[in-house]
Structure 1
């Protein structure tokens, strides 16, 4: 990613942290909302415009530059100790998951039975753990990269497997906008990576739409959870019925082909 693109990304994150939309920024800059959208989409704006945006956001260019430099060091994974600390407190885990989804302080308090004091205390803990950078007015900047994942065998994923998976799949998946699909097949080894990349783009689209729809009224939204998985796997009951090529020798098809060749 170029420095200019990184700067635009940081500016977008600052707008989000400040609870500002393109429309509200446009009003502050005395511009049309379409002009602001185009400016961010193309990534083309003079330094004077960046200074104006910094004024609105109550920051400066030096701070933006520091964030651009820090962006390369965003965490893609937590240590075992950090994950264990998150798992030690259900309310801290809740705030960590909400922070990953870019929820605001106000959204968390309005949605869950956490008092403002409890939420502030958890934000302070997340700051100490290096997951967020807490800012005035309970705003924060996420210190986790877009490709962040919980440790494969860490405390959070262990909790997910034992407590969350069963609860998630116990539903009927027949409600509005719901679906459950299981597709099994054999593909070339190299193609598995390509499918993983496609699935990651779907997850990124979902996350981006979540951010875009935060401005909608509560009655216009519903909570959805997207779980994507892909692994080399065969159902246990089927594994028991599978032939062992080392024991049974060539496959039936192979034997038939060999027999046909001899007949020719």
Structure 2
């Protein structure tokens, strides 16, 4: 017996439990012995025709079951080095990756950037193959990355941002409406550093949630903002040279 049942079997068991169906009740519906049903679900050994029969009992279909299996899979916290290289190699693919991480629709991307609908669909398909999204009908998608997802700290994407984006970002005056730039230096306990990191992550999540909520607002009432949060054990080089 496998120690880790197939995800499909795990979802089937969860669906049976949610429906209040015991193995005995399922066995009666399928015309099988209860022991056969137990063995079948324990070993995860059944033909697709049997899965279809169980779906019929659950009043669902295989497509819906497959979506539930996909939804139950663990989410990625980061991509592999090769996946990041593929993303950063194409500027429009990187644009689409950043857009889906902000949960933009294809229609929003096409309306905002010089990306055709055909290009957008092609890039969504690439992101699906890279494991960033699960592409669904009507060009909708489900993110396959966790809320704590981040680009690899020393990976290709962050390297690209350091070289091509950071200078552009910090060249602004940070004096416009809703803008600010502050730098605070100090010494704190090691354990408190973790607490501050968690608080900053919540700020980032709040920003992301507000972005989603404000998608309903008219364009005239919205402006694009980019929130950059960083915290590291560091001392400015010019100051390091002055240390005793």
TM bucket (normalised to shorter chain) is 0.7 to 0.9
Question: 2-side partners of 1:194 and 1:154: how far apart?
Answer: 26
Match of 1:66 in 2: 69
Question: 1-side partners of 2:66 and 2:104: how far apart?
Answer: 23
SS in 1 for 2:148: coil
Question: 2-side partners of 1:214 and 1:183: how far apart?
Answer: 33
After superposition, the Cα gap between the structure-2 partners of 1:161 and 1:99, relative to the gap in structure 1 and judged at 3 Å, is same
RMSD: 2.2
Question: 2-side partners of 1:207 and 1:128: how far apart?
Answer: 25
Q: Deviations over 1:30-49 (max 9, x none)?
A: xxxxxxxxxxxxxxxxxxxx
Q: How does 1:1-264 map to 2 (within 5 A)?
A: 60=64, 62-63=65-66, 65-70=68-73, 73-243=74-244
Question: 1-side partners of 2:121 and 2:162: how far apart?
Answer: 29
**Shift in Å, 1:84:** 0.3
Q: Deviations over 1:45-89 (max 9, x none)?
A: xxxxxx9xx9xxxx74x355324421xx11111001000000110
Question: 2-side partners of 1:141 and 1:191: how far apart?
Answer: 35
Q: Which runs of 5+ in 2 are unaligned?
A: 1-10, 12-57
SS in 1 for 2:165: helix
SS in 1 for 2:215: helix
Match of 1:30 in 2: none
**Shift in Å, 1:135:** 1.2
Question: 2-side partners of 1:135 and 1:68: how far apart?
Answer: 12
Question: 1-side partners of 2:67 and 2:199: how far apart?
Answer: 32
Using the size of structure 2 for normalisation, the TM-score is 0.73
Q: Segments of 4+ in structure 1 off by > 6 A?
A: none
SS in 2 for 1:130: coil
Q: Deviations over 1:86-123 (max 9, x none)?
A: 01100000000000000000000000010111111111
Using the size of structure 1 for normalisation, the TM-score is 0.68
Q: Which runs of 5+ in 1 are unaligned?
A: 4-50, 244-264
SS in 1 for 2:77: coil
Question: 2-side partners of 1:144 and 1:68: how far apart?
Answer: 11
**Shift in Å, 1:189:** 1.1
SS in 1 for 2:174: coil
